[in-house]
């Protein structure tokens, strides 16, 4: 069993990861409005009432390259 200090560090890292995820969702929401996101391999279903037009492949590629520092892939609709 991990020590208390190690558990505390893990909990702190998880909290930071959730904060980053929430900030990323807000940023993507402002830019695109809706979509499905995969963050660090974890899929997030994230929809709004107004779904934007379907994105072209080049737009999805541009989003993916911009978000690569988050290890994020935008799957489109």
Q: What's the pTM?
A: 0.36
Cα 1 from Cα 65, distance rounded (Å): 39
Cα 18 from Cα 10, distance rounded (Å): 12
Name the domain count of the chain.
Answer: 1
Structure tokens at 58: 């080049």
Domain that holds residue 30: 4-76
Per-residue pLDDT tens digits of the chain, which is 77 residues long = 557 777 777 777 777 777 777 777 777 777 766 565 555 555 554 433 233 456 566 666 666 666 665 555 555 54
CB atoms within 10 A of CB 12: 10
């Amino acid at each position: 069993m991990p020590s208390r200090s190690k558990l505390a560090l893990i909990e702190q890292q998880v909290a930071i990861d959730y904060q980053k995820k929430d900030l990323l969702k807000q940023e993507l929401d402002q830019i695109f409005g809706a979509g499905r996101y995969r963050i660090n391999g974890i899929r997030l279903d994230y929809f709004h009432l107004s779904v934007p037009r379907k994105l072209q492949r080049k737009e999805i590629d541009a989003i993916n390259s911009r978000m690569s520092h988050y290890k994020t892939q935008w799957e489109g609709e």
